[in-house]
Amino acid sequence: MTASGHLVERFQLAGTAPDDEIAALVKETGLDTAVGILADEIVFRCDEPVNRMPAHLALTVTHGADHRQLFFRIVRDEPVTVVAADEVGPVRRELRISATDLVRRLFGRTGQRGYGDLYDTFLPHRPDDLRELPEILMATNQASGTLLSGCGVPTLDLGKASLAYGSDKWASFHWYTTHYEREFARHRDQPVRLLEIGIGGYRGQLGGGSLKMWKKYFHRGTIYGLDLFDKSALNQQRLTALTADQGDPAALTAIAERYGPFDIVIDDGSHENPHVLISFAALFPHLRGGGLYVIEDMHTAYIPRFGGSAGPVAGPDTSIGLLKRLLDDMHHQEQSPPPGARPTLTQEQVASVRVYRNIAFVEKGANADICFPRWMDDEAWMALGAIPPPPEAPERNDT
């Protein structure tokens, strides 16, 4: 991770810290640097503008007696941008907030205070404004709503976000986002490190729609994408595109050692079954406890040209074969291993396997639930009275 990336991560972690710790971080880094980090985050999070008349808004960020002022240009069909003071048109409205409160708004937990920390001022109008006052007020109000949408934790429907960013995880050939929302909900407020294999992009397009969706959903997260082709043009604050072949276990291990451990890994790569198995073997060891390893598009387990099996039963060297093995591994204590055999990593650390149509979530954790010891056979259970003895056979009377 670069020095700037490390600094951004410190702000991500600070969002749930006490006020004095956030203030100390702002003082250490300097208000200019802190405001730059926060401004990038606001611009990324803002909803699409709806105001037809361009509006310029000021956001004043304070820290003790010091302050910095940002100017935002907001207009429909254009991205929200921060502009220099000498490029600003009439500023109609000023919002003012402390750096500490803004850090907490951006990197705090879902549902934290979203009011009572922000001062809002309509600035004096010019005489010429009166002719267009209704239009100016509407544009200013709409632009203010857009700016405020960027100053907090997004209220996000993953299906809509998938469509907005051009991801295919919803309403294409897949309906995955409902499952993602269920499985990822407990991780959303955490400073997760997420790696997605497969960035997408066809016919010269960069792709990266899913990565941007994850960046917005995990407002405290650090997002990595892995692709066979160089997609570093996608790099931005909290989002990094890496280049490697998912069929190369050494390359995957090197990436995990440098950028991990990860809280979430999503395999949306080639969907070649050998690649799925190689990636899982290389990356699952670098998943944190409580983390999730996700495998998408498991239909290729039944397509021979993807290394799948012809017929109704997926073979052991497919994605579905891998899941079957993990189910056996979860129940290794009920089996009869060879003498002296030690549990494997997946036997010890696969806590659950949850499968939906074409997508699976493997949770890493201690597979340590108490089971019936193998020495407690039926005779032991009968002695305890837990299993009734078999009924005696009735005497035969052949006379």
Task: Please give the helix or strand (H or E) that residue 95 lies within, else none.
Answer: strand 91-98
Contact between 214 and 224 under an 8 Å Cβ cutoff? The reply is no
**Catalytic residue, candidates 271, 275, 299, 331:** 271
Q: Which residues contact 243 (CB under 8 A, 6 or more apart)?
A: 226, 227, 228, 229, 230, 231, 232
Contact between 174 and 68 under an 8 Å Cβ cutoff? The reply is no
Catalytic residue status for 271: yes
Q: Which residues contact 273 (CB under 8 A, 6 or more apart)?
A: 300, 301, 306, 307, 308, 317, 318, 319
Q: What is the DSSP string of 147-158?
A: HHHTSS-----H
How many angstroms separate the CA atoms of 261 and 87, rounded?
Answer: 44
- For residue 16, the one-letter residue type is T
Query: Helix, strand or coil for residue 319?
Result: helix
Triad 291, 218, 190: Cα angle to 5°: 55
Phi, psi at residue 68, to the nearest 5°? -135, 145
Task: Please give the helix or strand (H or E) that residue 98 lies within, else none.
Answer: strand 91-98
How many angstroms separate the CA atoms of 82 and 150, rounded?
Answer: 13
How many angstroms separate the CA atoms of 253 and 279, rounded?
Answer: 9
- For residue 75, the one-letter residue type is V
How many angstroms separate the CA atoms of 265 and 291, rounded?
Answer: 8
Strand order in the sheet with 91-98: 81-83, 66-74, 55-63, 91-98, 119-122
Contact between 367 and 349 under an 8 Å Cβ cutoff? The reply is yes
Q: Which residues are catalytic?
A: 271
